Amino acid sequence: MPRKAKTVEREVKREPIKMKARPNWEDIDPTLEDSPDKLHIPRHLIPEGMDMIWCTDSVLGQEFPQHRSSREKMGWTPVHQEDFDGQLNGMFMPKGAEGEIKMTGMTLMARPMSLSIKAKTAERRAALEQVAIKEQALRGGDLPVSLDSQHATALQSNRINKSMERIAIPTD
């Protein structure tokens, strides 16, 4: 009966890989979630009580300083890599790079969540006012068309229906 050959696995000893730049794989954080959204910031990396947005600085190389200026007037402040104990250092730019965190023509900005909540409340109030103005115009006959909103047939069929539906918003 022929003998079966034994396979012997040997550990091959290799010299350490020499590279000019320090290898990136030494600093990989396995807790960071992999997301197809290149601008996504995991919720656990945003400091408690803070809100963050990406502000457009340029599009196809054309600067938009007025857009950034309007954001800064609303309390948004540029984030640097060393801010927030360096939690975002190396996430969007090379680790240790100086200056504001920028990516694809945008700058990362932060402000206290209390300011964001106030801004969202004001936006909602303004939107509801616009709806109320249009409802009043419809009911009062102030529409720019030649229809009589007080006509008997119109009063029987004109209705304003409003509804609100809850939608699921992902929380990361």
Same domain, 70 and 101: yes
Q: What is the mean pLDDT of the chain?
A: 82
Domain that holds residue 43: 37-115
Give pLDDT, residue 163.
82
As a 3-state breakdown, the chain gives helix, strand, coil percent values, each rounded to 5, of: 30, 15, 55
CA distances to 58, 88, 91, 132 from 23, in Å: 32, 19, 15, 60
- Residue 89 pLDDT more than 60? yes
Same domain, 106 and 130: no
Between residues 172 and 76, the one the model is more confident about? 76
- Residue 41 pLDDT more than 60? yes
Can you tell me the mean pLDDT for 81-85?
92
Domain count for the chain, please give it: 2
Same domain, 137 and 85: no
Percentage of the chain lying above the pLDDT 70 cut: 70
> Does the predicted TM-score (pTM) go above 0.75?
no
- Tell me, yes or no, whether 5 lies in a domain: no
Can you tell me the mean pLDDT for 158-171?
80
- Residue 157 pLDDT more than 90? no
The helix/strand/coil state of 59 is strand
Same domain, 75 and 134: no
- The band of 56, judged by pLDDT with boundaries at 50, 70 and 90, is very high
- Tell me, yes or no, whether 32 lies in a domain: no
Q: Which two tokens stand for residue 134?
A: 């249009």
- The band of 12, judged by pLDDT with boundaries at 50, 70 and 90, is low
Give pLDDT, residue 133.
87
What is the per-residue pLDDT across 109-155, written as a single tens digit (0 to 9) for each? 999 999 999 999 999 999 999 988 888 877 776 665 555 666 666 66
Give pLDDT, residue 4.
64
Q: Which residues make Cβ contacts (< 8 Å) with residue 88, sequence separation at least 6?
A: 41, 45, 79, 81, 101, 108
- Residue 1 pLDDT more than 60? no
Q: Nearest to residue 84, comparing CAs of 56, 44, 31?
A: 44
Same domain, 99 and 55: yes
- Tell me, yes or no, whether 46 lies in a domain: yes
- Residue 82 pLDDT more than 70? yes
- The band of 73, judged by pLDDT with boundaries at 50, 70 and 90, is very high
Same domain, 126 and 66: no
